[in-house]
A and B are shown apart, each in its own frame.
Chain A
Amino acid sequence: MKNQSLTFPTRPFSTRGGAKVPHRKNTAAMETVVMPAPKEVIIPMSQHIGAPCNVIVRQGDHVDVGQSIGENDSFVTAPIHASVSGTVKKITEITMPNGAKAKAVVIESDGEMTLSPYAEPPAAETKEQLLLAIKRSGLVGLGGAGFPAHVKLSIPQDKKIDTLIINGAECEPYITSDHREILENSWDILSGIKIIKDLLDVHRVIIGIENNKPDAIKTLTQIAANEAADPDDEIRVLTLKSSYPQGAEKVLIRACTGRKVPAGKLPADVGCVVMNVTSVAFIAKYLKTGIPLVSKRITVDGSAVKEPKNVIVPLGTPIKDVIEFCGGYKCEPKKILMGGPMMGIALTDDSMPVLKQNNAILAFDEKDAKLMEETDCIRCGNCLKSCPMSLMPQAIAGCVKLKDVKGLEKLNVMTCMECGSCAFNCPAHKHLVQTMREGKAMVRAESAKKAEEKKKEEAKKNEQ
């Protein structure tokens, strides 16, 4: 994409496949409530993609809200901060939702929520200062992926970014936390957009929102049309079709610009940067107040929750305390999800703390949690029809069964983003996402093996 004068699309570009998921946005009209400090928070040192942080506090230390408790010198990482004021009770190891082990700091709250004296508005005059500030804020992609924000915003010299896309699609059922952010915090979103826009020097900002949120579209359109706020008319809202997975990065870029991110490449390769609405609003707030990422708005919903609502919770609050705050369980929960029903992770129990990239906690009763029995594939082709990436999940499943790595590569299994549209539409109730993950793991293992062999060979050659 060269530097042509860019126009704003009036209608989204067409995207392929997807699933007609039910919306179930039960909490969309509910004002967010702030949860008081819990008795105890558990803060894992790995809440992002990249290097886990090292604990820099000791047992018995007193910490304040916003005080850094985990740091790492590597570039791809994000510092971790205390979310309540109190005493460090212990440093333990917990199992993360994805099965990995991580160190965690347990802080006993004193109930005061005293703000750390170091939490001051950071200097952000130059580009470098701003990026450093964003790094210090501990911000990771709040849409769910958890990619450190400063890494995403450090664009390599050879890449020219011309479009900033703000992701307000929120295509997962149940979740309304971004929706509430737009309604309750719209001016922060706009200031955040302006900060990033100047940082990246882009003149086209597209805010993508699904058409099932007319009030959010109206609010942001009004602000974006405001002369004083956006004098050059460089920020506009684009109403997207509400079809899952509209908020997936590659799909969103396609819908907003018509560009296709090549396999294995990043959005920056097609001149785009995508940021979540809540992330940009957080940057604006952080530059104003200097309070790092210590709390998060999450949607608590599902058939087993008594009073579904949107809550701002201190990070690290155990899920059972959050549910307790929402009136407790209506019945025995049979499935607890971190995230939405399409891509969320099922937890083994409710002691897991709320993480940075969390945007929902859903608890379901027996009826909703029950797994459907797998039957034989009838080759209906629904999986291919619903794949936004044009993959053939049924053929990939065949290769996985045969452990045919070449076949998997040919079928582009690595392009799969695990959105779950194929499994959603499968009449045989196949666990297709799980199968795709197995396939991806096989390809990864194979390429690791090849790299190892190559290394050995080279070492041999060098010896000779």
Chain B
Amino acid sequence: MSSNMYVSASPHLRSGISTTSVMRDVVIALLPSVIAGSIIFGIRALLIVALTVASCVVSEYISRKVMKRSNTIGDLSAVVTGVLLGLNYPVGINPVMAVFGGVVAIVVVKQMFGGIGQNFVNPALAARIILLVSFPTDMTTWATPFYYTQGAVDAVTSATPLAQNAAGNFGGSYMDLFLGNVGGCIGETCALAIPLGGIYLIARKVISPIIPVTYIATVFVLAFVMGQDPLFHILSGGVMLGAFFMATDYTTSPITSKGKIIFAVGCGLMTMLIRVYANLPEGVSFSIVLMNILVPHIENLTRPRAFGEIKNKIKGDK
């Protein structure tokens, strides 16, 4: 009898999903936003996203090599970070900055904390914030949609709807917001393309609908309570992209259902507080990163009761 049998603990059957298949689904779900961004802001948008992806993948490869760890670029998580980060840039960004952002996201935020599953904040968002603080002008110089069709070589600057709204001069329609015909980051203007990918992820059971639905609903309700235009607030800025793709990041969101609700409500609350009361026109990145930090506590507080768990042990019970 052959002695080279596989002897392992049960189960001997697996569902066939892998980290790679999950990440591949996320990349597929991001494609509509990448395409929309490329239509609205031209081929440069596509190039910026591709450059960021390349930067992230190369950073992952080199940093793992330097740390003498196994090569993990095959799990595609660096690609997801790259696409997300690219979608968070204004189209006119200096390519060197775009590459730098990728390096920060992967090396500093992800690999220095132990790689996939160990980072305590979303790498793409953390990198965006670092860039925003380091290069405030470049990161907030927005291009006018379809500037490239008007023969302009350089991106013509325009303000984002949220900035216009803060100044009280937003003149666009809901349709403009829905289709993305406004100023903003490459991937966050088109409120049509993002949920398309989000629904794909929900249908493929990659993400649960709890976080996006709760997040968007919270923003909607709070905007209404604060006397703002609720529809405008959920369609503009980074709410859609944040709710479907950033706040649902596995590593930095709670795994319990109750925890997911608390997390998403917190994100929505912070977003609206920053938008309405703070000095910044937009607060999605900050709100999600702040809530990321609270995840371990939220998870601890929302641990589900085990089947048949006896709630409180009766004292004095002998």
Contact = CB atoms under 8 A, between A and B. Distances in A.
Contact of A388 (B18, B21, B307, B310): B307
A263 B307 contact: yes
A110 interface: no
Contacts of A420: 10-11
Given A346-B6, A378-B251, A384 B308 contact: no
B305 interface: yes
Interface string B102-131: 000000000000011110000000000000
Interface in A352-374: 364, 369-372
B150 interface: no
Contact of A434 (B9, B12, B18): B9
Given A263-B308, A347-B5, A394 B255 contact: yes
Contact of A424 (B11, B72, B250, B299): B11
A418 B10 contact: yes
A349 B5 contact: yes
Nearest to B256: A384
Interface in B63-80: 72, 75, 77
A350 interface: yes
B1 A351 contact: yes
A261 interface: yes
Contact of B309 (A263, A349, A351, A371): A263
A412 B115 contact: no
B80 to A, nearest CB: 11
Contacts of A349: 1-3, 5
B306 A263 contact: yes
B255 A379 contact: yes
Nearest to A336: B5
A390 B3 contact: no
Interface residues of A, number: 68
A387 to B, nearest CB: 9
B8 A173 contact: no
Interface residues of B, number: 40
A375 B19 contact: yes
Nearest to B295: A379
A376 B117 contact: yes
Given A19-B15, A345-B10, A375-B75, A412 B116 contact: no
Contacts of B136: none
Given A336-B5, A378-B19, A390 B14 contact: no
Interface in A333-354: 333-337, 341-351
Interface string B34-47: 00000000000000
B255 A371 contact: no
B303 A431 contact: no
B13 A424 contact: yes
A434 B6 CA distance: 15
Given A334-B5, A346-B5, A378-B251, A384 B304 contact: yes
Contacts of B225: none
B49 to A, nearest CB: 23
B17 interface: yes
A249 B306 CA distance: 16
Contacts of B152: none
19 contacts: A19-B15, A250-B308, A254-B307, A260-B307, A261-B308, A262-B308, A335-B7, A347-B7, A364-B12, A369-B5, A372-B18, A375-B75, A378-B250, A390-B305, A390-B306, A415-B306, A423-B14, A427-B19, A433-B10
Given A345-B10, A346-B6, A377-B117, 18 more contacts: A250-B307, A262-B310, A263-B310, A334-B6, A344-B12, A348-B5, A395-B303, A412-B306, A415-B306, A420-B10, A420-B11, A425-B15, A427-B19, A427-B21, A429-B14, A429-B18, A433-B10, A437-B9
